Each structure stands twice: as C-alpha cells, then as structure tokens.
Amino acid sequence: MQPLGVDEPTAVGPYRLLGRLGSGGMGRVYLGRSVGGRTVAVKIVHPHFALDEEFRARFRREVEAARRVGGAWTAPVLDADPEAAVPWVATGYAAGPSLAAAVTDSGALPAHSVRALGAGLAEALAAVHELGLVHRDVKPSNVLLTLDGPLLIDFGIARATDGTASLTSTGVSIGSPGYMSPEQILGKGVTGAADVFSLGAVLAYAATGQPPFPGDSSAALLYKVVHEEPELGPLDGEVRELVAACLAKEPGARPAPAELARRLAPDGAARLVTGGWLPGGLVEQVSRSAVQLLNLDAGDTGAEAASGPVAFSRAATVGEFGPPPVMPGVPGSAVRASDVSAPETRPPAVVPEPRDAVSAPHDAVPQDTAPGDRPGKLSLSVAAASTPGEGGRGRRLSCTVALAVAGALAAVTLGSVFVFELLPGEGKDTNAGSEVPSPAAPGDGGVSGAPIGSDVPDRYVGTWEGKANALNGALPAGTFRLTVHKAALGEEVGTLRATDLLGLACNDVLTLKKATAKELVVTSVGRKTNHGGCNPKPHTVRITPTGDDLLYRSESDAEGNPEARLSKVGE
C-alpha cells in the first residue's frame, strides 16, 4: 500500500481513506475505514467514464446486481454512489495479498492450496452465475488470499463499462489479456463460460507460477489464447485435467462452475479451507498484515488534512507480460499493480513543413532542471474530472483499441488498460525523435545556419490561456496555459501547463524547432517532476496565429492530439 499523495482525497463518501492499494485502467483503489471502524476497499472510477451517461446507467445497474452477490468467497459490495461527480464503490476488505502478489513473491502454490483456491472460486462463480451475472475479469490480481479462504473481488465496475458509448466507439473488450476467453477477444457473446476459462488460466498460474499463455507481445499473446493450446508445465493429475477442460476453446466444452467445485472439493471448499489451506510463509504474511491493518490510521499515511482531487497513474508501456497486474492486498506490501497501455493505433496526419521554416538541430531535447509544480496530467486510462458544473477527462489518452484480426489479435483490459498495436509503425508518435528537415536556404524567407539572437517573432511572445479539447473536439481536456519567450533554434522557448478538469496539472518544456511568421514548431517534453500520469515522450507541437489568438495543436496520439485556442493573458 502507498501513502496518499497531497493531490489525493482523504475521504470518499463516508469513508476516511488510509492509503492507496493500487490503480488501473478503471480507476484507483483506496483502503478506507467507515465511521463504525470497518475496513473497506474504495474504488474510484476514472473520470473518463463519468462523462459517459451510458456508463453511469450500467454502473448503477451492475452495482445493484453486485449487492446481491453473497457467499463465503466473494467480497461484498457495501456501498456505492453512481451519481457522484466521480462514481465510486466500496467493498469489504480482508487482509491478504492478491494471488498475483503471492506468486510473484513466493512462487507457485502447493497442490492442496490450488485445489482449495479452485473450489472456492468455482463456488463463487456458481453463485454469481445463478444471479444472471458474469464477472468478466477473473484474474490473479482480482483474487485475494485470506486465512479464511480465497476472495473474488472487483464486481460492479468492469461489467459496467461493457457496451458504453465511450468504449464501443473504440472497440474495447473487457478483460485481461492472457486471462480473457477466446470469445471475449474475438468480440463474441460472453456467458458464464468465459469466467470458467479465466478461472482455468488463474489456476494454471497459481499451480505453475506462469501464465498458461505467455507472450512477449500483445498480438502474440492474444493469438495464442485463440489459436494455441495452453502451456501447463509441471501441472499433472486431476487438476491438470480440470484446468485443460476449463481452457477449452469452445465455451460449450468447458465444465460448469458447480461441477468444477464438486470435483475439486467433493465435501465443499470450506472443508478444504478449515484445516489450513495456505503454506506457512503466506500464513505468517497474512497474519502480520492483519495486525498492521488494525493499527493503521489515517495519521500513518502522511496525507494532508484537506481532501483533494483523485490523481491517476500513467499506464506503463506494453511488453510487460507474464505475471498479471497486481492490486496489493495488504498494508506494507510493495505495490505491484501496473497499468499497461500502448501507443495509439493511428499515426498522426502528416503536415507539410513550410518552405520558409527554420530548422533546429535534431538532438535538441530540453533538459529539465527547473522545479515543477505537483504534476497531474492524467493517463487516459483517463484522468480528468469535474470542477463544479463541469465534466471531462485529462490530457493524456490511452485510448483503448482492440482489434480482432485473423492471425493477429489485440485487446484491452480494463482492470488495467491495454492498448495493443498490430502493425509495424502503428500507434507511434511519428514526430518524436524524427529527423528535422535541413535549414531553409537564404532567400526562402527563413534563417540560415545557427542564428544569433531570437528566431521567435514578437507575435508569439507572452502568456496565453484557453480551453483544450482532444479527439477532434470530442473530449474536454481542461485548460492549457502557454508561455512563449524569445529563443534561438534548439533552445527552450517556453512552457505549457495543462490543467485537467480535476485541477491536476502537467508541465511541459518546449524547445524551438522552427520559427516563421505563420507557425512555430516546437518539441514538447514533460518535466521529470511530473506525475506518473503525464506523457513522458517527446512530441511535436504546432502553434499558429489565429486572429488575435494562437492555435495550439499537439501531434501526440497518446494524448488524443489535443488542440486549444489560446488568448493572450500576459506579456
């Protein structure tokens, strides 16, 4: 668990927050405590989803349905507010690591533990399916290991995103690569059999310490899930037979959860758990964590007294396969949760350079030495949120695109958001690190060679501010504040402060590449002090006069190519 940052809330609804458990493409998870002293997990969804009325409606329905899910092996949904500016849900919390964390730290579970794990989760899924629900995101990081048995968590959010306008427009699939069923990847109808497939993959991971469909790239991994047999390693006996049955490509060939539970534990999962089901090392860890949890108070987190907006982590880069993303389950444990995203699948449009442009050296990349403000440009996985009367998302977009292509598949997970590229060169910022055209020759209206003094026309100098939008105007991106000063080519020419609708800011340093009366071309790079959700990659920005204003256009697919019309607010 991580302490709360100064830009994070200290309370959500009636719950006082004690620390941050993890984060993902759906939002952030906090450890909280009710007025009565009950410990809960509070999940706040990304403000991106709050903008989608269809999501809110589905979220409301799914939370109501999830409240009905009971049983010994599921974390109960205790409270929720679908109408909040940023919707949230609170579930019961038990001290114990996630399966992903346990396997990462200690290796595969012993056979007895695997049987108890499988029986408990199968009974949980049977109860869920009887209510007409499908979990859709069964994975190691959504399974907690407690002394009283396994707990299946994360109801009520992942399903709510399925079919929302903001997701279907980009072809998103709900689930986690490597643990999604073939029908989920291919965008076919999903039934309870998809959960059984995911359960089989989870059991294989628990028993062997490795995912059954390993891959060093997204397309390769998803291709294996759909077309190849699982790698079950040393798994043998009846458990191997059952796992293989769960991982059948055809949904109809997989066993029902109740049948799976009966075969793993004829007398019920509770009987297997009662005698002690975890290895000694994990028992000690869970017991120690329970004691720490009792002693934990808000004063231990280092949080400020005042509540603040929710910051969301930047998704990590694609290629982190193997053990899945982890939501740490216990205080004091290292946070292993990782959001995975990748570049967009559409390259930015190519804009011809003006003939009278002045070129900067190719390797002119600003070195960030100036201190920056507390960052907050959010990954879209999306961050942004609402000030009173406003709603929106943050500046950086991890726009999720899932492609089902014969022989090359990509998908998205919304416990962690995966954006997969399938074709060489797709989804990359084609401007970052690209060669800069040679300087214009004298007589072309440009400046030749290494100029002395400033190449920036007075027209651009000053401080400019305005509202920004991304995705061709479809997504509010907060407020951009641009400062431009005199500079020569290759020098720092200004800064950009992007403040999203949650009030979280990211600061970029701008280096001059070209300067003409008609356009400034700069390289924008985030400060090193920026929040993890800020875009760290260099990208090209074009600034052009428009009447008395400036038009700011970013050529960063990862951020949704934001644009802003900026008015002068200072010299």
**What does the alpha-carbon distance between residue 28 and residue 43 come to, in Å, rounded to a whole number?**
6
Q: What angle do CA 434, 537, 425 make, to 5 degrees?
A: 50
Residue 205 structural domain: 11-295
Pair (421, 288) in one structural domain: no
Pair (410, 290) in one structural domain: no
Contact of 193 with 382, CB cutoff 8 Å: no
The pLDDT of residue 499 is 86
Number of continuous H segments (helices) and E segments (strands) in the chain? 13, 18
The pLDDT of residue 567 is 96
Pair (255, 117) in one structural domain: yes
In a domain, 332, yes or no: no
Closest CA to 206 of 228, 234, 180: 234
Which parts of the chain sit beneath pLDDT 70?
24-26, 155-175, 217-219, 295-453, 501-504, 532-533
The pLDDT of residue 481 is 96
**43 marked among binding-site residues:** yes
The pLDDT of residue 352 is 38
Helix axes 111-130, 237-246, angle to 10 degrees: 30
Q: Does residue 216 carry a catalytic annotation?
A: no
Pair (118, 250) in one structural domain: yes
The pLDDT of residue 502 is 52
The pLDDT of residue 362 is 40
Number of domains comprising the chain: 2
> 196-211 b/e with 16+ CB inside 10 Å = b?
bbbbbbbbbbbbbbbb
Q: H or E element: which one contains 19? A: strand 15-23
In this structure, what CATH number is given to the domain that contains residue 190?
1.10.510.10
In a domain, 79, yes or no: yes
The pLDDT of residue 8 is 82
Pair (283, 409) in one structural domain: no
Instruction: Give the residue from 250, 267, 295 where a domain finishes.
Output: 295
In a domain, 180, yes or no: yes
In a domain, 528, yes or no: yes
Instruction: Give the residue from 246, 275, 295 where a domain finishes.
Output: 295
Q: Beta strands of 311-379 (E only): which ranges?
A: none
In a domain, 483, yes or no: yes
In a domain, 399, yes or no: no
Pair (41, 188) in one structural domain: yes
The pLDDT of residue 349 is 36
In a domain, 192, yes or no: yes
CA distances from 324 to 23, 104, 193, 276, 550 (A): 13, 10, 21, 26, 45
In this structure, what CATH number is given to the domain that contains residue 456?
2.40.128
Instruction: Give the residue from 239, 262, 295 where a domain finishes.
Output: 295
Question: Which tokens is 30 given?
Answer: 């906090």
**What does the alpha-carbon distance between residue 256 and residue 122 come to, in Å, rounded to a whole number?**
9
Q: Residues 137, 195, 500, 508: which is the catalytic one?
A: 137
Question: In whole angstroms, how large is the CA radius of gyration of the chain?
Answer: 25
In a domain, 370, yes or no: no
